[in-house]
Amino acid sequence: MSAVFTSLAKAFGQLTDRAVLCVVAKSVALTVLVFVVLGWALYAGLVEAFARAGLAGEAGGFAGAAAAVLIAGLAFWFLFRVVALAVLQFFADEIVEAVEARHYPEACAQARHLPFRRDLANSLRGIGRTLAVNALALPLAVVLMFTGIGTAVVFLGVNAWLLGRELTDMAWLRHCGDADGAERDNPVAKGQRIALGAVIAAIMLVPIANVLAPILGAAAGTHLTHLAIGQGTRTVRDA
């Protein structure tokens, strides 16, 4: 598990890099924009719904705004991870390239650049997987709600698994042969992926820090991936 902490420490050390800060600015701006657009659409829809129900004018506008703020706030709390990670997929290459250029220059020179359609497909696949797995875990989370912490533990575990996979796939996709290979042959051990995912999922629960969590996770996932690739190469050579 020391590889996970080493990767996180290196990732923290690179958060001040210009390339990384540029991705932080773009991903945060786009994430906020997504929630603003969704919030505006929600407000407009609620005002229209209240008007149809006979609650028009200032009363309808106030009720729509209040409901929109409440729902948008809850959505931001529960869906921030999904949206932020989906947005990061579009800039994942830039984070991975920044880490590889500084720490793994030879691998960076040999890596392939993923086309936009591939980034879009990865984002949509990740969103679908996240929503599906969380929906499957919801009944168990509801059953464990009376325990006080059971629900939080279920969702932390589920999202640790999801995050660990997605954050290491970002780098692995640049070096594997094909998409199917990425799904099957991610070289990072499952325990390490889950540990990394758990740390990033926990950071995402902390206000302000949650903005940097996806970037930190992508950088740490890149280090983990290259450590695993290096170990695999040494094993082959030793054999």
Look at 93-102, 123-132, 189-198 and tell me which has the smallest mean pLDDT: 123-132
User: Looking at residues 83-93, what average pLDDT do you find?
Assistant: 75
pLDDT in tens, 34-61: 878 877 777 777 777 767 766 555 555 5
User: Looking at residues 108-137, what average pLDDT do you find?
Assistant: 74
Whether 199 shows a pLDDT value over 70: the answer reads yes
pLDDT in tens, 206-227: 877 877 888 899 999 999 999 9
pLDDT in tens, 10-35: 999 988 888 888 888 888 888 888 87
> What's this model's pTM, rounded to 2 decimal places?
0.74
The pLDDT value recorded for residue 155 is 77
3-state SS, one letter per residue, for the chain: CHHHHHHHHHHHHCCCCHHHHHHHHHHHHHHHHHHHHHHHHHHHHHHHHHHHCCCCHHHHHHHHHHHHHHHHHHHHHHHHHHHHHHHHHHHHHHHHHHHHHHHCHHHHHHCCCCCHHHHHHHHHHHHHHHHHHHHHHHHHHHHHHHHCCHHHHHHHHHHHHHHHHHHHHHHHCCCCCCHHHHHHHCCCCHHHHHHHHHHHHHHCCCCCHHHHHHHHHHHHHHHHHHHHHHHHHHHHHHC
